[in-house]
Chain A
Amino acid sequence: MATIGYSAILLTFVVSLWAVLGFVIAHSRGYKELSESALRAVQAAAALVTLASLSLIYLLLKRDFSVDYVFRYTSTALPPLYAFSAFWAGQEGSLLLWLWLLSILTLLASLNLGREDEAVQDYALAALAGIEAFFALVLALVSNPFAFSLRFHSEGLGLNPLLENFSMVIHPPTVFIGYAGLAIPFAYALAYLLAGKPLEDWIKKVRPWAIVAWAFLGAGIIIGGWWAYIELGWGGYWAWDPVENSSLIPWLTATAFLHSAVVAERRHYLKGWSFLLITLTFLLCLFATFVTRSGIIKSVHAFAQSPLGFYFVAFIAIWALLTGFVAFKNRGSFASKKVESALLSRDTAFYYLNWLFFGEALVLLLGILFPTFSSTFQGQEASIDVSFYHQTFMPLAAITVLLLGLCVSLGWGTTSAKALRRALIPVGSALLGIVVPIALGERSLFPILSWGTVGFAAAGVIQELARGVREFIRKRRLIPRPYGGYLVHAGIVLLALGVIGSSFYKAETLVSLKPGETAEIGNYVLKYVNFQHQSLPTKERFLAQVEVYKDSRFLGQIRPEKNFHFNVEQWVSEIGLRSTPAEDLYLIFIDLDEDGTASFQIQVNPMVFWIWVGGGLMVLGAVLALWPEGGKEWKS
């Protein structure tokens, strides 16, 4: 089976390369019949990669330890779901997953449901086949999931216990669908330029692709944060770790692209920006894959060093040069229509939005690369701590959220005095956001400014939604597309609320309790009843029973665990959590003494709940935004 898988990967490389050559020759030399053959090669590549992936799944489920990858990430005791998810537990399988998803998406694109122009279609498929060829080459040469073990093993090492969590089953594929999906708008961007077609049509074509991929990437990031919160047991959801940041960067540039694309489609400028942003997004997706899977970056969850870096850097450089060259040769396509727009207009807001997202992405990228830079140029390795991101990323994010609250008051091109008066409501709400916390005793500057910002944005979002409802009543016709955007914005506001609550108002205490003793935090009283012990085949399991009381009312029991996993010979904690919209009670079981004394870290994390709700709302918004038509009728 391993041989079949490996052969399929080799063949994928060959047919993908053939597809690239076939499409290019078909159009540059005029051998139209070659394009038919290249199209079959694209379909064959999808079939071959699927075969390779199914082989790996089969080997994993069968626990065939003669294959090194299966040996390293599974064991006989591992439940089938996690054996299946071990597919993407390591570098080799993750790259295969990337390729698999890309080949399926490429197959979807090749069906040409949009009745695309032949040249455009062929160039786009050529670009996608080129990306597939790269991944197949890497899998064949440096990162082979089908490599045999050098020794006989009767048992596998098993999955890292931290990855045995349902969110880790779905987080990597969700992110990878985002990455692979963002390759499609990029490929079509090149194709429209090469075929000399107007970029406005490109945007109409790729908008659904970009929105779906953007939503998947965003959902994947949120699920990753959820996993960190539930499984890593430090009470946070975002550690500004290079691996996390690297997935956020292409999401930011993709968000900028989606906004820029609106302007390009309706107002016929920012076309160059849109093209640049989607190119950067694609290259940054490659970079993120490389960061996560190569280990050049010092990170808690980066993988071991490998020669992968060379291949990725070279590939990113090739695409950057190629795209730059194509863009330069066809620079006429970026010509904008002359538009008159006042300084105070939605146009200005969108223009600055591009710079803001661009700046945010740049800051994160700098943070990731800084240790590498400093060891290269200063001879001494330095690292950056979280305060760097607080100082640079957060102000930019705050201004972005402010703009969100303003956009409903601004019109395209020019803003009428009447429209501008609408902005009085967000301003009032911002003042309220500042005054109320001060009245309640808040004295620090950053929380106060943050509440003001969110107050401003929240009022703007409510105005947007209210206007949508009024419009619906007036026209008696529902046009879902704009509501998508409103919902995404509402999601952002909720997410911001959650971030503010949990960053500024977190309470934390460390306690050591004998059975029957209690501890207090905020309004809560926690009573440590006792512990239970179970011996399981894979682990020794210790459960603490803790009763939770609030204002002397019994709320229930939570049971954090501390387990010794035999495969990694290590203790792994499972947190106890009681989540409510107002706040989470978060309990980490730190230590258990022989006499039954247990130590706990207890946290009260306010409003974390809204981060997940906000994330869900953004995905829902993306679904609505996919609704066809309607966009034209929406004028302000």
Chain B
Amino acid sequence: MIGYREIIKEGLWNNNQALVALLGLCPLLAVSNTLVNGMGLGIATTLVLVASNTTVSLIRNWVRQEVRLPVFVLVIASFVTAVELSMNAWFHDLYKILGIFIPLIVTNCTIVGRAEAFASRNNVPRSALDGLSIGTGFTLVLMVLGGLRELIGQGTLFSGLHLMFGEGARGLVFSLGDDYHGLILAILPPGAFFGLGLLIALKYLIDRRLEERAARKAVQAEPATDTAAAPAEG
């Protein structure tokens, strides 16, 4: 059985749904034009993921194998509806900006994927944690990509923060100054693809560096066995 620490690591890094599994790309690319938009959709997705994973895990022994997918989708759809209505009530401006992409969380492959691959086979605490860590990993990528595109495209960070945290947050908006023209392409759809591609490349670069370092450490740790084995092979 997979450990809790493992679940967190998988969701945030090793099996990051946006960078490794490349699931949920449609909302990822469409709403990541500012950091706040990315964060809003990310949090909504995480909420749905935790709730749906928990519920699916609760009912996993009562749902027949043949009808499990429709049942999962029903569960997910009800949570998405709940999240959508709450956002409409409490974050109305953000709700208007994210628009169609909130109801479309239903179709996000990540969610039904986690329900099928994880929650339907694991107990409730593990499934809930999996939903949280997968959702957080997805949210972080959305925020980094959104922040990157916002910074390059319009020279600001955290613009629209007041949509989530009230008027007081307006002062936190960071700006490169009015002289910055902005590379509008970064905000347009091609910018999303370029940005995601670069992030994936960066992840693989970090992974490779880590592997190399681990390999070097392993060699340094046991140099005696290496030299001892060499003549035997020769």
A, B in one complex: no
